[in-house]
Chains A and B, each alone.
Chain A
Amino acid sequence: MSRDDQPVVEELRESLVEQPADAGRSPGADVSVDVLPFPRFDRPLDASVREARLLTDSPWVRSVGQLTLSVTTEGWKFPAPPPEYTPPPRLPSEPAVGRHAVALPTLPDDPNAPPKARIRPKPTADTVLFKDRLLLLLQPPLDGLFDGRSLSVPFEPFPYQLEGIAFLMPRHAALLADEMGLGKTAQAILALRLLFHQGQIRQALLICPKPLMHNWGRELKMWAPDLPFETFEGDADQRRTTWLVSNCPLKLINYETLTRDADLAADPRVYFDAVVLDEAQRIKNRESKTAQTVCSIRRGRSWAISGTPIENSHEDLVNLFAFIDPSRIPPDCPPKHLPRYTADCILRRTKDLVQSDMPPKIYRDLEVDLTPAQRQAYSLAEEEGVIHLNELGETISVQHVFQLVMRLKQICNFDPLTGESAKLEQLVTDMEEVAASGRKAIVFSQWVEPLEILAKALEPFGPLQYHGRIPQGERTPILDRFKADADKHVLLMSYGTGSVGLNLQFTNYVFLFDRWWNPAIEDQAINRSHRIGQRHPVTVTRFTGLDTIEQRIATLLDAKRKVFLDLMAAADKPTTMGLTEDEIFGLFDLKARPKRGAA
């Protein structure tokens, strides 16, 4: 026992001695008690924490862990549409917008109606970032946007046009090569409009041929009335302001002005989120100033629009891709491998493919027998011409042959002495029928002179002329008058001026008074009439002089026409579309041939 415990023991002892008798003993008993130290108290009492923990320890109790659940999140924000493109939604009672009323379905849809296919832009193989892919996948379906309730449009685009828009929207490099008349312009405008609305682009440039500027302006007002646009006009200073200062989201320029402003176009301060080339075959010559200027523009998206991306050879397509995506086609790529590199960027549909309900296009090949005067003049010219060519010997060139061909073709149109024309006689007969039925026709020629002669001969049918000699400012009013005036039954057009971009679907007859060298140009001309909106069959009359150079050329061109279709369909085919040098010389029975390397 320790010394510290001693007082406690003494105290215990005393308390026991002083215990009263009734506290545990029998009365009267004399018991002495020895007090012994109690070993249990040798140590101070110490609370054992171990015993207290016993109930919370394994195996008596097992932890259930956290009872609440939690998650982590990851998110992506997308570009907000600029406020100017988000007008307040219309009330459901508001009538359909646009120039033409659209019969609106009421929600919920008719349960018996077949489900509508939803058309959405899909991420391309080039869309690498998940956020970019998400942005495309989360877009609302296009087929709901243009039914006349959300966006103001003149009429609801056709499903194939929605697919065209869905093709363009996700692509930074694209060639929309639909056949003429399928509404490429509307598709491009609507794709741009939606990208503007989504905030994905803020500045875009449209480049088109000069004669189509007015047409583009009209189409923009129709398909994107909420999208302000500006054209490059005025003197150099004004255009400089448009290039460098203007904040207008969409700018419209023609190839000629663009080439003139080449320095400004290449200015590092100039940048467009999207550049769209209409009639992109204009840059098929890579070395031309136009092509180089177009390619020098700094841009995010490069879209090309052309119904005839291949006019002569596969090189046309390669050169187009110098703008669309310069790195896509490897150098010296064989033509047969082109589709492998370009297929993802090209969308081409034909009328047959997309518009089974479109009125048919009926070809009528009229092989007219020349009048006696024409035949005499023709035979003489050909005979003398061939003699002359043969006399040229090794100095003969393609140009010499062309001169003879042109001369003979002109005789096929009109006899140079008497003005007789077998074609004109037939045309007048046909026009009487056209006018009697209250319909309208277009007559195409390679030259202006025949059109002026035709204008006099067709006076009873209210002819109007549209060609290179008509001043630019007068052309659109002529088209408007042709459309509006019921007495104007015929429009006389040159291939060069009237073959692209014009919408003349209110006409039902096309006459090719003479044939163009390239079938693609002829197709473009025909498709001024046979395009979206046409409700009646279109009759195409192709005049050729019987047993003449025209017939020989037509046979060759018909064979060539297939090449274009084959190459666009990814087949391995010959690479030239126009007439080759050998074919041109083969038009006549010539002994003379140019000296190789010298021609």
Chain B
Amino acid sequence: MSDRTASPPTLGFLTVQQEPAGWAGYFLVTNAWGRPLEFRMSSAVQPNRVQTALYGPTLLDYLHADVIGKALVEKTALKPDLIVTDTPPALALRSRVDVPVVALRPDAAVLPAETRTLTHPRSSLALLLPAAFATDEPEVLARLDAVDPSVDLAEPFARIREAVTEARKLGVSGRVA
């Protein structure tokens, strides 16, 4: 992995939502000040019963990481230095891309398995790191240190939700197919 910790990092914010048409992903890339550089959305995907049965408990990880997350990250022109997601199943994306991935810790009392918790002033919520990639921690913390102090990692997801609402209103999300 290249050492890009010295310069202000580019951040990727990934969210996957269940919509009437299926699971859809949204990926916002910002600079270290939180200003938008690129935005990408995926088409909705709905697993059928066979796929649900075959993938079993791994279906969510597969959908979030392999199907949606990986496609969005690979298609995005700008490569982020750190990916933040608000959906813990997308942490599995870490094994598919060469970028550290952290998740905002959900409110739920039960934490996702095989994760480590860390905190940083740039996030109003605790962060989860895949246990299998615990060695990412120093790099993640170093990159967050270089993020502008006004940025809160939880905030851009509110912007994404507004953008999604706008996309639905204008029928843009339906045309991604």
Task: Report A's interface with B, CB cutoff 8 A.
Answer: 64-65, 67, 69-78, 80-81, 86, 88-92, 106-109, 118, 120, 123, 130, 133-135, 137-141, 144-145, 147, 149-150, 197-198
Contact status B175-A69, CB under 8 Å:
no
* Minimum CB distance partner of B122 in chain A: A107
Q: How far is the CB of A495 from chain B (nearest CB, A)?
A: 43
Which residues from chain A contact B72 at a C-beta distance below 8 Å? 73
Contact status B159-A91, CB under 8 Å:
no
Contact status B121-A92, CB under 8 Å:
yes
* Minimum CB distance partner of B24 in chain A: A71
> How many contacts A-B (CB < 8 Å)?
151
Contact status A118-B148, CB under 8 Å:
no
> Pick the contact of B158 from A109, A118, A147 — CB < 8 Å?
A118
Contact status B148-A107, CB under 8 Å:
no
**Number of B interface residues, CB 8 Å?**
64
Contact status B63-A138, CB under 8 Å:
no
Contact status B31-A74, CB under 8 Å:
no
Q: How far is the CB of B46 from chain A (nearest CB, A)?
A: 9
Contact status A73-B151, CB under 8 Å:
no
* Given A75-B77, A106-B121, 14 other A-B residues pairs in contact with their CB atoms under 8 A: A65-B50, A69-B62, A75-B38, A77-B78, A81-B31, A86-B8, A89-B8, A89-B148, A91-B145, A123-B166, A133-B166, A140-B33, A144-B151, A150-B149
- In the complex, whether B15 has a CB less than 8 A from a CB of chain A is no
Contact status A107-B152, CB under 8 Å:
yes
Q: How far is the CB of A97 from chain B (nearest CB, A)?
A: 11
How distant is the Cα of A585 from the Cα of B25 in the complex, in angstroms? Answer: 74
Contact status A73-B71, CB under 8 Å:
yes
> Pick the contact of A138 from B33, B150, B163 — CB < 8 Å?
B163
Given contacts A73-B72, A118-B158, contact A197 B150 (CB under 8 A): no
Contact status A197-B35, CB under 8 Å:
yes
How distant is the Cα of A145 from the Cα of B167 in the complex, in angstroms? Answer: 26
Which residues from chain A contact B25 at a C-beta distance below 8 Å? 71
Contact status A89-B159, CB under 8 Å:
no
> Pick the contact of A76 from B31, B39, B42, B51 — CB < 8 Å?
B39
> Pick the contact of A72 from B43, B62, B166 — CB < 8 Å?
B43
Contact status A140-B155, CB under 8 Å:
yes
How distant is the Cα of A45 from the Cα of B145 in the complex, in angstroms? Answer: 79
How distant is the Cα of A577 from the Cα of B64 in the complex, in angstroms? Answer: 65
Give 23 pairs: A residue, B residue, CB < 8 Å, sorted on A: A65-B50, A69-B62, A70-B71, A71-B71, A75-B41, A77-B77, A86-B8, A89-B8, A89-B148, A90-B149, A91-B145, A92-B121, A107-B124, A134-B39, A134-B163, A137-B159, A137-B163, A138-B28, A138-B159, A144-B152, A144-B155, A147-B150, A149-B149
Contact status B36-A138, CB under 8 Å:
yes
Contact status A149-B40, CB under 8 Å:
no
Contact status A144-B36, CB under 8 Å:
no
Q: How far is the CB of A450 from chain B (nearest CB, A)?
A: 52
Contact status A89-B68, CB under 8 Å:
no
- In the complex, whether B84 has a CB less than 8 A from a CB of chain A is no
Interface pairs A-B: 3 shortest CB-CB = A75-B40, A89-B148, A138-B36
Q: How far is the CB of B128 from chain A (nearest CB, A)?
A: 16
How distant is the Cα of A65 from the Cα of B167 in the complex, in angstroms? Answer: 31
> Pick the contact of B45 from A71, A75, A80, A198 — CB < 8 Å?
A71
Q: How far is the CB of A79 from chain B (nearest CB, A)?
A: 9
Which residues from chain B contact A198 at a C-beta distance below 8 Å? 35
> Pick the contact of A73 from B40, B146, B166 — CB < 8 Å?
B40
Chain B 57-101, CB-CB to A under 8 Å as 1, else 0, gives: 000001100011001100111100000000000000000000000
